[in-house]
Amino acid sequence: MEGGKRVKRFVRRVTPKSAGMRLDTYIHVSGAGVSRTQIQRAIKEGRVLVNSRVARASYRVKAGDLIEADIEYYDPPSEILPEEGEVDVIYEDEEIIVINKPPGAVVHPAKGHLTGTIVNLLYNRLLNAPGAERKRPGIVHRLDKDTSGVMVIGKSERAVRDLAKQMATKEAKRIYMAVVWGRVEKAGTVEAPIGRHPIYRERMAITLINAKSAITDYKPLEVFSYATLLEISLRTGRTHQIRVHMEYLGHPVIGDPVYSGRDMGKITGVLKGRNAPVEKVLSLINRQALHAYRLIIRHPKSGKLMEFEAPLPDDMKNLLNFLRIST
């Protein structure tokens, strides 16, 4: 199927339950079916009206507001194709499927990765599942290609809407483990705005230009002589947030190829003269040592609070074992 630019018409009347939400968040969690970036672009271009007037993304919707939007989006040049392959399923019922995403796996088809993604594999699984309401997997949150760990996917329209809202409002809790360079001996919080890097557009950075607030909490689980295993939780959900904030803290994630985790000059500065087998450590992991190990959600149908964990992958286990014996 040929791709191209499309326009999606969105019209909703705000219910009392949704009152108080930001306009961009409200549209995103109300089933618009497009990305938050596309919604924000439409708002910025004046193609989103509240009660027939142009409004800002930060506008807090009120009960009874009429939201009308024409949102441009891009159809990918190829249809998503179902593909056979193994998926590490932690839990599944008629509403949701929870998986343990391996490092190196791309979540959604995009330019350069049209096949072999988590979506391709789950699409095949859902097509062959009798009675499934939704055949295409409903992705409500993502992990970077080289970040491993637990993800939840919606199998029904209700689940997709409800889970997306839980993610947007941070009702859902995502907790990570990261191994960082240097000794972090106390728990703390990083609060620093994140936006697109002004020069390297594929990167994010701490900046005040077109940035969004970002807050990350961390606490040490194990402190080694030249590295630390951290538990990290997010109060906001910005692109590359943990990786950017750890670099900003002065403790980049070990192995991170973008945010100083493999930069010998930066690593030497972090270690402050402390002897460490840096090259050996980097040979043990060829990605950022970051794993989404726990997810807490409310089940979209039963309302029951559910908690899922994904065990550490082998490369992070090997890294930690080496740190324990070399400290």
Indicate if the pLDDT at residue 6 is higher than 80: no
Query: What pLDDT does 193 receive?
Result: 95
Between 182-191, 193-202, 279-288, the lowest mean confidence (pLDDT) is in 193-202
pLDDT of residue 327: 74
Q: Across residues 3-26, what is the average pLDDT?
A: 85
Q: In which band, very low, low, confident or very high, does the pLDDT at 127 lie, cut at 50, 70 and 90?
A: confident
Q: Which residue has the higher pLDDT, 77 or 279?
A: 279
- Does the annotation count 75 as an active-site position? no
Average pLDDT rounded to a whole number, residues 111-116: 73
Write down all domains in the chain, each with its CATH number in brackets.
4-75 (3.10.290.10), 78-165 (3.30.2350.10), 175-291+319-326 (3.30.2350.10)
Query: Mean of the per-residue pLDDT values for the chain?
Result: 90
Q: Which residues contact 327 (CB under 8 A, 6 or more apart)?
A: 224, 225, 226
In the numeric block, which tokens belong to residue 290? 């970051």
List, in sequence order, the alpha helices (H) in the chain. 23-29, 36-44, 118-127, 157-169, 241-249, 264-271, 278-284, 314-326
Beta strands in 143-214 (DSSP E): 148-154, 173-181, 188-191, 194-196, 204-206
Between 114 and 270, residue with greater pLDDT: 270
Predicted pLDDT of residue 2: 41
Say what the pLDDT of residue 91 is.
97
Residue 281 has pLDDT above 90, yes or no: yes
Q: CA-to-CA distance for 308 and 106, rounded, in angstroms?
A: 21
Residue 137 pLDDT level (bands cut at 50, 70, 90): confident
Q: State the Cα–Cα distance between residues 235 and 242, nearest whole angstrom.
A: 11
* pLDDT (average), residues 34-57: 90
Query: What is the pTM for the complete model shown?
Result: 0.77
For the cut 90, the answer to whether the pLDDT of residue 3 exceeds it is no
* pLDDT band at 131; cut points 50, 70, 90: low
The catalytic residue among 144, 146, 162, 256 is 144
For the segment 253-272, the average pLDDT, to the nearest whole number, is 94
Mean predicted confidence (pLDDT) in 219-228: 97
pLDDT of residue 175: 97
Quick one: pLDDT at residue 199? 81
82 versus 264: which is more confidently predicted? 264
Going 137 to 141 to 147 to 151, the CA torsion angle's sign is negative
Condensed to tens digits (0 to 9), the pLDDT of residues 140-194 reads: 998 999 999 999 999 988 999 999 999 988 899 999 999 999 999 999 999 999 9
Q: How confident is the model at residue 221, as a pLDDT?
A: 98
pLDDT of residue 235: 92
Using the predicted structure, report yes or no on whether residue 113 has a pLDDT greater than 80.
no
